Amino acid sequence: MAKPAVGIFFSIPASRIVEKYGRKRTSYIGHIVGILARTVLVLTLATFPQLLIGYSLLGSIEECLYLGYDAYGQEMIPQQIRGKWTGIRNTILGVIGVFTPVLGGMV
């Protein structure tokens, strides 16, 4: 419940942050928040699962700070190959997305 709520309420302020400081800078801050969120996830003790709420909140903030990252990522790709690049990338991610759950189930 907390993750969508944070996304809804923080998206407009996050877009103002992106406009003020730039897409690249805010996406780097988003990476740092994401690393912090994953650290909380890994270090959460089984006796103190309330920290997983903090992981969820930090993950939502990370996603909001990536607002400008998609546009920045498209700017790095030359316009004449942008469609091919997106198609190849989505195909590779789709194939990986099919096999990783199978591999995870076997592990």
Domain boundaries, the chain: 2-76, 78-107
Q: What is the mean pLDDT of residues 84-90?
A: 89
Pick from 54, 27, 60: which is nearest to 41 by CA? 54
Section 50-68 average pLDDT: 80
Mean pLDDT rounded to a whole number for the chain: 83
- Do residues 10 and 61 make contact, with C-beta atoms less than 8 angstroms apart? yes
For residue 1, name the pLDDT band (cuts at 50, 70, 90). Answer: low
75 in Cβ contact with 68 (< 8 Å): no
* Mean pLDDT computed over 54-75: 77
pTM beyond cutoff 0.85: no
Average pLDDT over residues 35-52: 85
